[in-house]
Structure 1
Amino acid sequence: MSRPEGPAAPPGRPESFWMATASPAAPYPPLTTDIEVEVAVIGGGIAGLSTAWELIDAGRSVAVLEADRLAAGVTGYTTAKVSALHTLVYDRLRRTRGAEGARLYARSQQEAVERVVAVASSVGVDCDLERRPAFTYVTDPGERETVRAEAEAAREAGLAASYVEETGLPFAVAGAVRVEDQAQFHPRTYLLALAEDVRKRGGSLYEHTRVTGLTEGAPCRVTTENGCVVTAGDVVVATHYPVFDRALLFTRLSPRRELVLAAEIPARDDPDGMYITPEDRTRSVRTAPYGPDRRLLIVTGETFTPGAGDVGRRYAALADWTRAHFPAGRMLYHWAAQDNDSTDTVPLVGPFHPGARHTYVATGFGGWGMSGGAMAGRLLTDLICGRNSPSWTHLYDPRRLWSTVREAPAFLKHQAAVGRHFLGDRLRPTHVDSVAEIAPGTGALVRTGGEKCAVYRHDDGTLRAVSARCTHLGCLVAFNAAERTWECPCHGSRFDTDGTVLQGPAIRPLGERAVEER
């Protein structure tokens, strides 16, 4: 039999701290009848709920349709930094979009930070919101000029940025960008408060309501998995990765996953800031309140493509790094987060496609969805309500030309990777020759009946087989042993071992298949 992949997962509960500690929320019902509203928002994460709250505040009738639970998807697994400092974005924007593009990006993101602070106060939610400086650092002296240039670009763009060589981290850095007046919070607590405020002010929210169809027009029609229809003047697709491909946005988005560890540390060890480095496959550090004289250290890193494998070893590497730099920490939680990068760095927020008149999208936040989602809520509300659009509208417009000389390399690299998986995974032999080789708690692709099946063996020895073809665009899935999920390496769809969709863009489950023990 095959053996489970890599080292065991790190100690602690395999659960997001945000999901484990938010106050229990009363469930919202699934949609069971046809309804009509002015705006339908598909997706109940920070982009969708921020948009719904802003629209309600503007006097529009709104329905939010969430396939699972509100604030329990990508937003429930974030590290929850609300920051305008996005690693090394400003020097690149200065070169690709000019000084004005960098300035607009900085202004829109910093205003989003302030908007989150203001909305939290407005709805009266205690979401552990703290104002902290944000840092992008490097430890390699050879990269010192990289962060020095980023500090200069961020300062020119209007942020309160400076170049420093001293931080609160318990190890030396070669250099860092420091930006003042950023924020961190408990994302699920914040968003559940927004959802409840939307409900109190007349909005409708539906959980366990998967959208499977969209007919554009005046009005638009949104169809759900159980056949209900929502008629709406406007529709916002805020599903992290768009569940509809008519805009071909999948060619401009590349998914990535990162692992997260959370450890209890003494308050005296708090590095007093939010930190990130592109080194070592990314290392991100922040803390959160965790009782008297204690803080919860949250470390993120080990960036990889969904379905890339070796997740257990990646967890071990991140745990080793955490123990080496914060030896007093006691591991409590571990989980994983998923993000989508746009090929030109900037999120895609605005009209869904060139012909769109009443459909909008918000996606491609590149790991910075807290500020990006808040920004998207205000921007889309202005567009839908016909208000004067902010000056950065064109910067985020999904219809912008992407095939410039500067942006083409990222686009071509992403398409080459998708092509390698789409064709190469079909040509390579299956992982095992027989289901008998699959150990309990593991999964593998097996050829049976002329097709590749994704076969999982439960801990009790029973088998579960589903189609290995992702229902989005047909790439072959791969098994993530650490999380016991099937993942598509092309566009990031994730499925439970029984084929149920856990994360889009796929909207249909993997079909059940029959296999025999042999």
Structure 2
Amino acid sequence: MTQNAQVSGSYWLETAPGAPRPALTEDTEADVAVIGGGVAGLSTAFELARAGRSVVVLEAGRIAAGVTGHTTAKLTALHTLVYDKLRRTRGPEGARLYARSQSEAIAHAAALVDELGIDCDWEPRSAYTYVRDENRVDELRAEAAAAKEAGLPAEFVTETGLPFPVAGAVRVAGGAQFHPRAYLLALADALEALGGRIFEGTTVHGLDEGEPCRVSAGTGATVRAKDVVVATHYPVFDRALLFTRLSPRRELVVAGPIDAGRDIDGMYITPDENTRSLRTAPLADGRRLLIVTGEHFTPGTGDTRERFDRLSAWAREHFPGVEPTHSWATQDIDPTDTVPMVGPLHPGAHHAYVATGFGGWGLSGGMMAGLLLTSLITGEGSEWSGLYDPRRLRSQVREAGRLLKTQAEVAGHFVGDRLRPAPPVDALPPGEGAVVRTANGDRVAVYRDEAGVLHGVSPRCTHLGCLVGFNSAERAWECPCHGSRFTPDGTVIEGPATKPLERREI
């Protein structure tokens, strides 16, 4: 991988580090316990606190530092090519509710920026879904018509602010781009001013759905709460077998400065070229930071360094002179039936709720989830609740083909990865990892550090037992089945796994 394609870290985390918060070390009580401190968790906690509920937020790492801290940070109700599909699978009313719920969430966030005086580089922008292939123009025209029918100010256009021609694009005004971590850190401060409590470095291991519910943390402390919200991106508790309806997807991001005069004046995405998503952000020196996202892949598979190289080369080709100064990766969770799952955790749940499956649009989706879950917990109700209800059955039947495909892929990894030939450990260069066989035939996930020292851990993901693969660009073990990620020594980076990979002697 070229030097400029190395993973250097998220621009959002670098420019808004935030102050750390303590871990939960003593038992406590609250009206609501929110598990997860990303956009969905913090939005839900803030709305509940403003509604008069006492709230505790439990975050395994740092708040707004996981998926939310590695996003592209585009706020729009135009989610690539979703409306024509929704019109066919959920009907015109389903598409309308989706458009309205996402649009109202964005408008609500804009109002909070003004109300709380949040300095987060909020910039209103139009969003575009474009294609360069003439054979896909009809698809774009259908999407524009469906989005307009759903109530969005959508139009089909052929001119954009991109420095290259497009065959066509769907344009929707009313979106925004912003600094997601600056926004959420300010929201966290406002939550605490309302009496909410936030604990970082607190992994949750258990949930008892009694009355009250009991949440058990890895620190040994517990939280007693009437209601619990699981907002951990991929649910750490899966009592409704949601993992059968969710699939993980990683995407890479490269970013570099361009002159302000080359700003693309909008937020763009194309389903072509293994996805390309673009936006800019203001820099202190008057230039703009070009942010390019793409090269999506299943965690733990393929050469991530090569993908970073391709994305960096694409940026240089279309924006001559740009040199990446930042690079990072993010992870999305795709539902089999397109729509996120926000509502009761399982059919028998009375006080446990979940927010997951945002499919790459977790900012507007997470903000929407905050409004929806608050309405459910306070008893106000929402006209969107049926659309997003995780217990829905009708759409599952309609999307059975996608569900079966997802499970076939998981089964393929679970079985096929165990049959794959294991490389010899002596062949591992420094900075690389692989699942190898020991002399007695056992498999071990082995990483060789830069000093040449070998580190071994169990290759079985502690979630459901799939074999992990090594991401050499990010130096992480990744589960291709459900997206859990671990450091080279086995420490959990991202769930649904909550336990580390066991150490192994080599």
Fold agreement, TM-score > 0.5: yes
* Aligned twin of 1:486: 477
Matched, 1:14 2:8: yes
Distance 1:97 1:500 in 2: 41
Q: Does 1:60 align with 2:53?
A: yes
Q: Give unmatched runs, 5+ long, in structure 1.
A: 1-6
How far the C-alpha of 1:26 sits from its partner, in A, is 2.0
- Measured after TM superposition, the shift of residue 414 of structure 1 is 0.4
For residues 492 and 473 of structure 2, the distance between their equivalents in structure 1, rounded to whole angstroms, comes to: 18
- Call closer, same or farther: CA 1:116–1:487 in 2, change over 3 Å: same
What's the offset of the Cα at 1:218? 1.1
Give the distance between the partners of 1:11 and 1:439, measured in 2 at CA: 19
Deviations 1:7-62 (A, max 9, x none): 3463476110000111x422111000000100000000000000000001100000
Matched, 1:313 2:290: no
Please name the residue that 2:212 is paired with. 219
> Is 2:340–2:358's contact at 8 Å kept on the other side of the alignment?
yes
Task: Pick one of 414, 433, 447 that aligns with 2:437.
Answer: 447
CA distance in 1, matches of 2:30, 2:284: 44
Task: Please report the RMSD computed on the Cα atoms of aligned residues, expressed in angstroms.
Answer: 1.1
Residue 115 (structure 1) aligns with: 108
Task: Give the conservation status (yes or no) of the 8 Å contact 2:484–2:493.
Answer: yes
| Structure 2 residue 365 is the aligned partner of structure 1 residue 372 | yes
Offset, 1:328: 2.8
State which of 438, 452, 467 in structure 2 corresponds to 1:461.
452
The reply on whether 1:505 has 2:499 as its aligned counterpart is no
Which of 225, 228, 234 lines up with 1:232 in the alignment?
Answer: 225
Aligned-partner SS, 1:414: helix
Verify the 8 A CA contact 2:34 2:231 in the aligned structure 1.
Answer: yes
2:272 corresponding residue in structure 1: 279
1:344–1:402 contact (8 Å) kept in structure 2: no
For residues 238-387 of structure 1, what are the structure 2 equivalents within 5 Å? Answer: 238-387=231-380
* Residues 153 and 9 of structure 1: CA distance in aligned 2, closer, same or farther (over 3 Å): farther
1:210 maps to 2:222: no
Give yes or no for contact 1:307–1:480 (8 Å, CA) kept in 2.
yes
Indicate the SS of the match to 1:331. coil
Is the contact between residue 495 and residue 510 of structure 1 (CA under 8 Å) also seen in structure 2? yes
Kindly indicate whether the alpha-carbon contact (under 8 Å) linking 1:261 and 1:333 is maintained by their aligned counterparts in 2.
yes
SS of alignment partner, residue 363 of structure 2: helix
Gaps of 5+ in 2: none
User: After superposition, what is the alpha-carbon deviation per residue over 1:64-95, rounded to whole angstroms, capped at 9, x for unaligned?
Assistant: 00000010000000001111000000000000
- Counterpart Cα distance in 2 of 1:14 and 1:354: 43
Q: How far 1:330 moved relative to its partner? A: 2.6
| Corresponding residue of 2:182 | 189
Question: Any idea what the Cα deviations from partners look like across 1:446-497, whole Å, max 9, x if unmatched?
Answer: 1124421100011001111000000000000001111110000000000000
- Decide which of 416, 438, 441 is 2:428's aligned counterpart: 438
Taking a change above 3 Å as real, the CA distance of residues 419 and 138 of structure 1, as seen in their structure-2 partners, is: same
- SS of alignment partner, residue 330 of structure 1: coil
Structure 2 distance, partners of 1:299, 1:363, is: 25
Which whole-Å deviations, capped at 9, do the CAs of 1:98-134 have from their partners, x for residues lacking one? 0000000000000011111111222211000110000
Q: Secondary structure at the match of 2:96?
A: helix
1:104 aligns with 2:84: no
What code does the residue aligned with 1:136 have? T
Shift of 1:413: 0.8
User: CA separation in 2, counterparts of 1:25 and 1:292?
Assistant: 22
Which residue does the alignment assign to 2:137? 144
Aligned-partner Cα distance in 2 for 1:322–1:313: 14
* Larger displacement relative to structure 2 (321-330 or 139-148): 321-330
Q: CA deviation at 1:291?
A: 2.7
| Conserved 8 A contact 1:402-1:408 | no
Measured in 1, the distance between the counterparts of 2:220 and 2:284 equals 47
Structure 1 runs, 4 residues or longer, greater than 6 Å off: none
> TM-score scaled to structure 1, two decimals?
0.96
Question: Per the alignment, do residues 9 and 365 of structure 1 end up closer, same or farther by CA in structure 2, a change over 3 Å counting?
Answer: farther
Aligned residue for 1:213, secondary structure, equals strand
Whole-Å separation in 1 of the counterparts to 2:114 and 2:41: 20
2:337–2:395 CA contact under 8 A, matched in 1:
no
Equivalent in 366, 372, 395 of residue 387 of structure 2: 395
Q: Is the 8 A contact 1:12 1:332 kept in 2?
A: no
Structure 1 residue 437 displacement after superposition: 1.6
Letter in 2 for 1:21: T
Specify the code of the residue in structure 2 equivalent to 1:47.
Answer: A
CA offsets 1:138-190 (integer angstroms, 9 cap, x no match): 00000000011000000000001100000000000000000001011100000
Q: Tell me, what secondary structure is at the counterpart of 2:398?
A: coil
